[in-house]
Chain A
Amino acid sequence: MRVPKVTAITLLLTFLIFSSCGCWDLREINDIGFVIGVGFDKDVNSDKYIVTAQISKGRSGQQEKDSESILVLSSEGTTIFEAIRNMAKISSKRIMWAHNEVIIIGESLARDDITGVLDFLTHNMELRMRAWIAVSKGDAKQYLVQKAGMEGIPAMSINNLFRYSKINGQALPTNLIKIYADYLNSSNQLLIAGLILENNNHTGDNKNNTGDNTSNKNPELQTNTNQIQLLGAAVFKGRRMVGWLSPGETNGVAWMQNQVDDSIVVIPQPQTVSKKMTVEIKETKVDISPVISTGYPSFTLTVSAKGNIVEEDAPSDMDIEQYKQAAEKAAEALIKENIELALNKIQQEYRSDVLGFGNLIKIANFNNWKDIENDWEDIFPVVPVEVSVQVDILSSTLYHQPLKSPKKADAKND
């Protein structure tokens, strides 16, 4: 016997310890329902939270294609956690939050108080701080029962809407960690992306609005359904939502937050009356700096962007350099207009520092901030912001010259 008795006993005991107390926290993956999207509402009458969760049933190649891939559960409770535990009454699987991608907050709840939701979302260790967060027009519940996008799971589609929000430029990719950081900041106010459920009916054909999503089997329904759109933004003041920003104003905010790479600017074409052209924005630089002199602070906001002409609706025989200059000017004017619109709305109407101006002063000059901190709510609406925009059009992709029309008659008509 070369193995000493002590060693043998230690090994045996170790094995017993592991095998008797082991498997703590074990959950097999097929016993779990993955929450992919969650919505929070508040019933104003009963003052109860309504939590709606979109849960994946799991898909695999072997199952038939048409089977439902999600299950939407909804339950009520006086607190959010109670509502979730109430969900266990109807859910056959343990609900797991770690894969949650999208958090939707109903407008009524947002206008009431967002604290409970934010606390629940950040308190729970399973939830990820990278989840997208949005405020929905109307109840959040209807967004989770709505089919959306090309993915099998609607919440995944909403997740992708957030990921590609930059190419449209009229929405903000707000995730939980940013919102939570703003919530904890003493001067920043919350600005959360907006979700809109709208019938995107371009054909005018309204006979068959079943709410069903499209499929290859009946493609004629394609333009005739309710669509979830990521558009606009909800402005908060303190713990409550105070109002919406329009898509144009959201674009202004997106410019100020430098979230517009790959977005487009549609401007009138030089030399024409009604024709438009499109510039795709590529590289953007945004600099917001406080100018602190004695007394009230002011801000200079410099935006510089590079872009390409991607579309012209009319031919032009202008010299390319002049043409570009004209287009640059028009684009600058449009961007400046959107920014000023947004600033105006935020400063004058909502009086809520969602852009973090106060924080910038705090960083630049802490002493000055100390002086004005208490009055910031009154100072913010009247802080002057000097906006300067510079757009540099590099080229017209593939074409070096504006499109020319060789037919004389066409040119005269414009």
Chain B
Amino acid sequence: MKPKAIYKNNSDNQEHLKRVLGNSLDVIYRLFNISAFRNSEAMLVYIKTLIDDQTISQQILKPLISEMPLANERSFIKKFDYIAWVTEKGIFAANVQRLTSWQEVLDYLLSGNTLLFINGCSDCLAIYTKTNESRDLQEPSTESEVRGSRDGFVENIEKNIMLIRNRIKESGLRFENMVIGKKTKTSVVLVYIKNLVDEALLKEVRTRLERISIDGVLESAYLEELIEDAPLSPFKQIKNTERPDKACSAILEGRIVILTDNTPTALLVPTMFWEILQSPGDYYERYYVATFIRWIRIIALFISTSISSMYIMLTAYHQEMIPTALAMHIAAGRENVPFPAVVEALFMEIVFEVLKESGLRMPRPIGNAVSIVGALVIGEAAVRAGLIGDIMVITIALSSIASFALPAYGMINSIRLLRFPLIMLTAMLGLFGYLAGIMAIVLHLLSLRSFGVPFLAPVNPLNKSIMKDIFIRSPWWAMSTRPSDYHVSDTNRQSPNAMPQPSKKNSDLKAAESRRKTTKKKVGGGL
């Protein structure tokens, strides 16, 4: 059915395209005459909603219809190659591509190109006229920082590429395009620095992406799940971000950033577990403060996974481990509670999840009312009604708040979920169950890898970079090498003696200082 070659006659082409694309209202066939070819008939085909009107009228139609002198170059007269002439001399548009097969023609048309058919030519010209409209560059709401750039990735992939290009002006920076999705034909761009990235890693990422044969990619999460190392694991093994500075720091570490069209979320591969503790703000903050905050996050990680199971463990099995006064208080608070601690804990956890979920979907104006009902009415009233003990409310509140203290929202969500199996294990076996659960989680984490890098690196296998950016955030002048876990070809980030100090040789500074001293003395003497 499908003709192999493009018809020479424009009306045949139009008919064919109409048959394939149907009567869509936004497919426009614009017929006109090219003055340069003695008014030979030509046709522009484009999809109105994808293109920029201005470009078509100013860059293509205007020169072709009005301004051209007659084409009479000798080469042209010999060959009558209209397309080549238009490309070379006819139009102003920058980005053009000569097409010969119908499959290409359709792909180009649907991704925002304008097609130029000229009567008598058996190929056509695709001119890139896609509109570059997108929403403004805003700071991503899930990853806001006190200090740091205020722009974020948007749905338009070209804007995203621009954001990275603006930050890294390196000739080795590569944007490698792949088209994924049989129906959506989404462009997926691998971003990396050529002479930094590990070739094996790059090959692996390419292979995994090429394996995908899904019909559509609507969000980068599709890709994430399709290229993960351990698809059955509860842990997310690929970090995502909407912050260009975060993405760029990954590129500079020799990692690969995967941008997906129509998605503001970039994927960073490979990813390590400890990135749930790291946020871009850490690197813009004084390093003592950043280190302190990192430890707060470690505590928050522990609290969010463990505190509700700890509560059950202590109140139902190991009451001797609670300080006496607290034990008596908990006992009194639970005096009228008819449920075992585990039911109490699960009830509150589920109530919180419901509140969180409803808060997320709620229209903004109603949000306040719900949080009042949720926090005050349910929390306070449930204690008064004797459904739960008062310490339980504190426990659940702590564990929920703690989980949001960690910067990587996506990765944290999966860890938050681990709380439920831990609660069940602890409820059945006490401290032993809790430890067995934690042990299983740790063993599982040890078995994970993300694109060839152990998930728990550099803690396991132990590496000296653990002292640089995991449990403490070293000052920038101390981080003279790139993390070695990604097998980068060039490990030097900066010169090894980067610690700043006042220059000893600057005679101007010294002169200024001594001048200050002498004036001070003189003033003092005068008084």
Residues of A within 8 A of B (CB): 2-3, 18-19, 22-30, 32, 34, 36, 56-60, 63, 96, 98-99, 101, 126, 128, 156
Contacts and interface: CB of A to CB of B under 8 A. Distances in A.
Secondary structure at chain B's binding surface: helix, strand, loop or mixed?
A: helix
A58 B329 contact: yes
Contacts of B430: 25-26
Given A58-B328, A60-B329, A96-B320, 14 more contacts: A2-B232, A23-B428, A26-B317, A26-B427, A27-B316, A28-B315, A29-B315, A30-B334, A32-B319, A34-B319, A56-B328, A60-B333, A60-B335, A156-B324
Given A19-B428, A25-B430, A99 B331 contact: no
B316 A29 contact: yes
B429 A18 contact: yes
Contacts, number: 82
B335 A27 contact: no
A156 B323 CA distance: 13
A34 B332 contact: no
Contacts of A63: 332
Contact of B340 (A28, A34, A96, A128): A28
Interface of B: 231-232, 314-317, 319-320, 322, 324, 327-335, 337, 340-341, 390, 425, 427-430, 433
A44 B320 CA distance: 34
A98 B318 CA distance: 10
18 contacts: A18-B433, A19-B428, A22-B427, A22-B428, A22-B429, A25-B430, A26-B430, A28-B315, A29-B334, A30-B331, A30-B334, A34-B324, A56-B328, A58-B329, A59-B329, A63-B332, A99-B320, A99-B324
B344 to A, nearest CB: 10
A96 B430 CA distance: 17
Contacts of A128: 320
A19 B433 CA distance: 11
Secondary structure at chain A's binding surface: helix, strand, loop or mixed?
A: loop
B319 A18 contact: no
A18 B432 CA distance: 12
A28 B428 contact: no
Nearest to A17: B428
Contacts of B324: 34, 36, 99, 101, 156
Nearest to A60: B332
A50 to B, nearest CB: 25
A201 B316 CA distance: 46
Nearest to B329: A60
Contacts of A98: 319-320
Contact of A34 (B328, B333, B335): B328
Contacts of B335: 30, 58, 60
A19 B425 CA distance: 9
A396 B429 CA distance: 60
Nearest to B339: A28
Contacts of A27: 316-317, 319
Contacts of A3: 232
A19 B340 CA distance: 15
A27 B428 CA distance: 11
A29 B319 contact: yes
Given A18-B429, A99-B324, A59 B332 contact: yes
A30 B337 contact: yes
A96 B332 contact: no
Contact of B317 (A18, A25, A56, A59): A25
Contacts of B334: 28-30
B395 to A, nearest CB: 13
Among all A-B residue pairs, the 10 with the closest Cβ atoms: A22-B428, A98-B320, A58-B332, A60-B332, A58-B331, A30-B334, A29-B315, A99-B324, A58-B328, A29-B331
Contacts of B425: 18
Contacts of B314: 29
Among A30, A57, A99, A126, chain B packs the most CB atoms within 10 A around the CB of A30
Nearest to B340: A28
Nearest to A58: B332
B232 A29 contact: no
B379 to A, nearest CB: 15
Contacts of A23: 427-428
Contacts of A34: 319, 324, 327-328, 331
A320 B232 CA distance: 83
Contacts of B330: 29
B512 to A, nearest CB: 51
Contacts of B316: 26-29
B347 to A, nearest CB: 15
B320 A126 contact: yes
Contacts of A25: 317, 430
Contacts of B322: 29
B340 A99 contact: no
A130 to B, nearest CB: 12
B319 A59 contact: no
A18 B422 CA distance: 13
B234 to A, nearest CB: 14
Given A18-B429, A59-B328, A96 B319 contact: yes
A28 B341 contact: yes
A29 B319 CA distance: 7
A128 B319 CA distance: 13
A29 B314 CA distance: 8
Nearest to A21: B428
B229 to A, nearest CB: 14
Among B231, B315, B332, B335, chain A packs the most CB atoms within 10 A around the CB of B332
Contacts of B319: 27, 29, 32, 34, 96, 98-99
A59 B231 CA distance: 50
Contacts of B331: 29-30, 32, 34, 56, 58
B390 to A, nearest CB: 8
Contacts of B232: 2-3
A25 B428 CA distance: 9
A28 B337 CA distance: 10
Nearest to A152: B328
Contacts of B340: 26, 28
A2 B331 CA distance: 47
A309 to B, nearest CB: 38
Nearest to B325: A156
B423 to A, nearest CB: 13
Nearest to A100: B324
